[in-house]
Structure 1
Amino acid sequence: MKLKRATYRHIEAEIYAYEETVKQIEQLRQDIILAGNAEIRPTAVNEGWRSSSVERRATKLADYILLREMERITGAIRDTYIRCKEEARRVIWVKYGLAILWEPPDWLQAAMAGKSRFDMRPDDMAAILNMDRATFYRYKNGFIYGIAERLGWY
């Protein structure tokens, strides 16, 4: 079975945004923790509307649901990445700039210096990695499909 185009692109967008998502998760956790400790008093807002405890609870619940989903997606990316071989990690770093608990080799960093991942063609990326285009796609697609499988989207 093949992934839908929108699902494939959504997973790619999540990979590109991995580092930012991890930062947002930490910020959201802090907000939820600190909101539970703070004493919240109803305040008058626009024409006498007041915030209620039900509204505050609903907001916290929505934040918690968002946090769980963000953790699930980043967890799937991290777990799939950790299971990858060295060659696949190189492909992932060149394509998405993602390195989790791994440092790209110096020669690879030097080869990518001054180049934009978004402007490079897959053929150029494969040439930098000294591999065939089909091999590049195999590793890239394997990573995407591994994440989709882990999330239950495939």
Structure 2
Amino acid sequence: MRLKRATFRHIEAEIYAYWDTLKRIEELRREIILSGESPVAVAAGQEGYAESRVERRGTRLADSILLREMERITKAIADTYARAREEGRKVIWIKYGLAIDWEPPPEIKAQMEGRNRFDLTADQMADIASMDRATFHRYRSGFVYGIAERLGWY
């Protein structure tokens, strides 16, 4: 079974935005935790249970659907990346600019310097990675499908 084109593109967009998503996760956490920075007041809840603003903030943090989904996606990307081999990581870095706890080889960095990865063709990217175009696509697709599998989208 193949991924739908829109799903494949969506996963690629999430890969491109990986670092921005991590920053946004931290911002959301900070906003939830720091919202209503006033002294803690205890009031009776609807069911008669004591409820405080701290408890409500904690519940909002735990229940934030957006936050959980963003964390789930970034974890799937990081886990799939951690399983990738050296050649796969080269492809991922050339295509998406993603390097998690890994440094691309200096010769590949030098070849990519001053180039916009969005303007490169698949053949040019494969040449930079010193591999055949089909191999390049296999690594790229394998990474995206691995993420889709971890997310349950495939």
TM-score exceeds 0.5: yes
Structure 1 segment 41-60 matched on structure 2, within 5 A:
60=60
Deviations 1:23-45 (A, max 9, x none): 000111111111265469xxxxx
Q: Which runs of 5+ in 2 are unaligned?
A: 41-52
Between Structure 1 and Structure 2, how many residues are aligned?
138
CA distance change for structure 1 residues 38 and 67 in 2, over 3 Å: closer, same or farther?
farther
CA RMSD of aligned residues (A): 2.1
Contact 2:33 2:61 in 1 (8 A): no
TM-score of the two chains, using structure 2 as the length reference = 0.84
Name the structure 2 match of 1:92: 92
Aligned to 1:17: 17
Tell whether 2:70 aligns with 1:70. Answer: yes
Helix, strand or coil for the counterpart of 2:35?
Answer: helix
Distance 1:63 1:39, change over 3 A: farther
1:140 paired residue number? 140
CA contact (8 A) 1:126 1:136 kept: yes
Tell me the distance in 2 between the aligned counterparts of 1:135 and 1:125: 11
Where does structure 1 differ by over 3 angstroms across 4 or more consecutive aligned residues?
36-40, 60-63
Distance 2:63 2:96 in 1: 28
3-state SS, counterpart of residue 93 of structure 1: helix
Structure 1 gap ranges (5+):
41-52
Question: Deviation of residue 61 (structure 1)?
Answer: 6.9
TM-score normalised by L of structure 1 = 0.84
Corresponding position: 1:117 with 2:91: no
- Where relative contact order (Cα < 8 A, 6+ residues apart) is larger, the structure is 1
The answer to whether the 8 Å contact 1:32/1:63 transfers is: no
Question: 1:25·1:70 contact (CA, 8 Å) conserved in 2?
Answer: yes
Structure 1 residues 32-43: aligned runs within 5 Å: 32-35=32-35, 37-38=37-38
Q: Residues 69-126 of structure 1, C-alpha deviation per residue, up to 9 Å, x if partnerless? A: 0000000000000000000000000000000010111111001000000000000000
Residues 76 and 151 in structure 1, CA contact (< 8 A), matched pair in contact too: yes
8 Å contact kept, 1:94–1:117: yes
SS at match of 1:2: coil
8 A Cα contact 2:32 2:61, kept in partner? no
